[in-house]
Structure formats: structure tokens, C-alpha cells
Amino acid sequence: MLVFDPEEEVMTQARSILVTGAAGRIGRAAVRALKAGGCRVRAFDVVRSTGTDDVVVGSITDPDAVRRAVQGIDVLIHLAATPDDDDFLEKLLPNNIVGAYHVLEEARLAGVQKMVLASSGQVVWWQRFTGPLPVTASAQPSPRGWYAATKLFQEAAGSAFAAQFRITVIAVRLGWCPRDGAQIEELGRTEWGPDVYLSPADAGRFFECAVRAPQSGRFEVVYAMSRPTRKVIYDPTPARELLGFEPQDTWPEGALDGL
């Protein structure tokens, strides 16, 4: 395991970053934090994103649009996806499987040497109930459903890229960052939701840490959550040791930011 050393960190100012799904809630937070840290950020989404002047509008299912977006990029942050369980053939297959294929392949062909891929705690869903806790990065997958299965596909592709092409690939199993008021209310009603909450500000901090961390040429799995209110469900150690990420918020801090 490569342990993060702040004296060896790669300066963000030297990096050009592509954020796919930049118009989403986590995407906006990532763009904002990276720009504040001095990065050159290109946003890619099906709608025009704010927060940066370098914008490519298009779909990850369109290889030509993806090819334009990855040109001149040093680091890929891939967030674009159908974000939860949905119709598999109409939504999950084109966006989370075919779209991920286009993004990863075009980034590789463009010479991108670091990829940060958004996964989900849903890929190890059932261990939350059966234990042991915290769930580690090496836990046996126990996906909640088809959405989580598509994220496991993406993790497997990232692992293959790292092994075959010596690309640094970080699969980040993100916590629950509510996308709207209804999700905020839903999270607050659950017993376990506050322990897997990810604030937009902590999401931005995570991606800035991931960008500036040294390149390893390996595949790594980490979790990104805010501070739990009761108990640690997902192991924060890999994100801290590999990337230097330390969350600062606790539910419900930041839940309404940007809505």
C-alpha cells in the first residue's frame, strides 16, 4: 500500500482535470473544490455546467463527445452515471456500462495516467447488516441490486486498467450525498443514513485529495464518508492513508448547501 506523504504530494496547480457528471451535486462540489485549489477543470455533462469556463456538453454514451472531453487531460474524475437503481436496459446499461466503457477507453487512449472512479457503498450493501464492521475495502462484494452491480463492473475495469497499463485507478465508494430535499428527509428518517452521509463539502475535499496524491500505478479501493454520528460503518483508513483525506462534516452539516 502506498501511504500518503504530504511532502511528496503532486501539486494540483499542475493538473488538468476532467469531471464527468459535473452538473450533479457531487460533480458541482468537486469542480468547486478543485478550482479553489488551483486546478484547471473541464466539466462534461449532458447539460451545461457552472463553476468553470471549460465545458463540454455531451453524453458519455457518445464516444466522439467523450473523445473531445479527454483531450489534454491529466486526471479523470468519472462521476457521470444513472445514480441509483433504475431500468437496466434503458438507463443502467447505456449509462453505467457502455458509458463507463467509452470514458475509460477514451481516457486511456488520450494518455490519462490517473482515474478516480465513483463507486458506491451499495457494492458491499449486505455486510452493513451482517457485520463485521467497519466494512473494509477488501470485503467480499454483496451488491444491493443492478445499480451496484454496474459499479462493480466499473471497479473491475479500473483494476484491469491499472494492472495492464500501469494507470493509477482509485475506485471511491461514495457515501450518501442527498441530491434534493426529499432525499435529505429520507436520509434523516433512517437509523443508518447519518453514519454513511457524505456532505458536498467533504466530497469536494475528497476529490481534491485524490487529485494531489502521488500516482501509484495501481488500483485502490477507498471509502468517502463524512464523520459518522454513531458508529463507523465503512473503513475510512485507506482514504486517510492513501490520499490524506480527513472529513470535516457530520450529518446534517452541509446537507442544504447548493440546493
pLDDT, tens digit (0-9, with 9 covering 90-100), for 221-247:
999 999 999 999 999 999 999 999 999
- Which residues constitute the domain of residue 15? 6-243
Whether 177 maps to a domain, the answer reads yes
Whether 259 maps to a domain, the answer reads no
Whether 138 maps to a domain, the answer reads yes
Comparing C-alpha atoms, which of 202, 101, 191, 82 is closest to residue 146? 82
Number of domains in the chain: 1
pLDDT of residue 1: 46
Q: What is the pLDDT of residues 182-215, one digit of tens each?
A: 999 999 999 999 999 999 999 999 999 999 999 9
CATH at residue 213: 3.40.50.720
pLDDT of residue 223: 98
pLDDT of residue 14: 54
- Is 80 exceeded by the pLDDT of residue 80? yes
Q: Is the pTM of this model over 0.85?
A: yes
- Is 50 exceeded by the pLDDT of residue 130? yes
Comparing C-alpha atoms, which of 128, 118, 80 is closest to residue 102? 80
Burial class (CB in 10 A: 0-12, 13-18, 19+), 230: exposed
Whether 258 maps to a domain, the answer reads no
Whether 161 maps to a domain, the answer reads yes
Q: Provide the mean pLDDT of the chain.
A: 94
Q: What is the pLDDT of residues 60-77, one digit of tens each?
A: 999 999 999 999 999 999
First-to-last CA distance in the chain? 38
Q: What is the pLDDT of residues 159-182, one digit of tens each?
A: 999 999 999 999 999 999 999 999
Whether 143 maps to a domain, the answer reads yes
Strands 219-224 and 75-78: unpaired
pLDDT of residue 258: 84
Whether 88 maps to a domain, the answer reads yes
Whether 229 maps to a domain, the answer reads yes
The reply to whether omega before 94 is within 30° of 0 (cis) is no
